[in-house]
Structure 1
Amino acid sequence: MPLARLIPALSLSLLTACVHTPANNVIVEAQSDCPLQLHTGQNVTVSLPSNPTTGYRWAIQDSAGGVLRSLSPEVYSSADNGQVLGSGGQSTWRFQAFAAGNGRLRLTYQQPWEPEAEPAQTFDCSITVN
């Protein structure tokens, strides 16, 4: 087959393969999105409301280390791009399911200088990787 005819056919087959690939990224934005059932290799993006100007920060207490690995540190972004002082935004973490098993992703929202104080919020998600 001539190269000119092979390239479009190959491009179409690659595009078709991408369309039929199961969703590889799971987005979690609330406790109600849990528990999670994942497959090895799937990525998980956890995005929780946050407002560091209040002194409160999300801290990972349990990272489901036996089944998830971190792909990035926490990234904070605000909806107004920092234009309004004291406005809230989102804290986001990315993980990848790397091994079959069970784990727990647990975060607490509290002021770092008061680790003994009851957290203002908690996020506790059971993870199962097949």
Structure 2
Amino acid sequence: MKALALCLSAVLGFSLVGCSSVSPTVDGKTHVYSLKQQCPTLLEMNVGQTLELTLPENPTTGYIWQVAKPQNILKVEEIYQQDPLKGQQAMVGVGGEKLFRFSALQPGEEWIHVKHSRPWEQNAIDEWRCRVRVS
């Protein structure tokens, strides 16, 4: 019975270790997400830290990722990188990735909301949200 309790304690301990890092970081300062990764309920950041969000995009279709509302405490950078073609020059119609870089400028709380839509339409075909608290 003691062996079973010890075994269960070890399994529970190892499972909690996996949950200790709620937000994936590259260097301890940069939180990295993609479309497939959800943000935690509340992401805690410090001033100077960054959240990077990489999303698949093909602007030639008219659908782009855009920040849905202005940010007050976060600086936003958007970078589009076309997928590399082996041995060829960049071509129209080839998709790529959009990188959003949100840098924490001052303490406060903010919602990051990006949507995938055509700029002239109200309905988004996809969205990504994250509630951020900066201290």
Distance 1:92 1:68, change over 3 A: same
Distance 1:31 1:101, change over 3 A: farther
Unaligned runs of 5+ in 2: 1-26
TM-score normalised by the chain length of structure 2? 0.65
Per-residue CA distance 1:82-116 (angstroms, 9 max, x = gap): 646533211112221122221100111111222x3
- Cα distance in structure 1, aligned partners of 2:69 and 2:50: 17
Q: Which amino acid aligns with 2:126?
A: Q
Aligned to 2:102: 95
Unaligned runs of 5+ in 1: 1-21
Aligned to 1:44: 51
Per-residue CA distance 1:7-39 (angstroms, 9 max, x = gap): xxxxxxxxxxxxxxx612222213634132211
Aligned to 1:59: 66
RMSD: 2.2
3-state SS of paired residue (1:53): helix
Moved over 4 A (4+): 81-85
Q: Does 1:127 align with 2:132?
A: yes
TM-score normalised by the chain length of structure 1? 0.67
Matches within 5 A, 1:1-130: 23-30=28-35, 32-35=37-40, 36-65=43-72, 67-70=73-76, 72=77, 74-81=78-85, 83=90, 85-114=92-121, 116=122, 118-130=123-135
Q: Displacement of 1:63 after TM fit?
A: 4.2
* Structure with greater proportional strand content: 1
- Cα distance in structure 2, aligned partners of 1:51 and 1:128: 31
Q: Which amino acid aligns with 1:75?
A: I
- Cα distance in structure 2, aligned partners of 1:55 and 1:122: 16
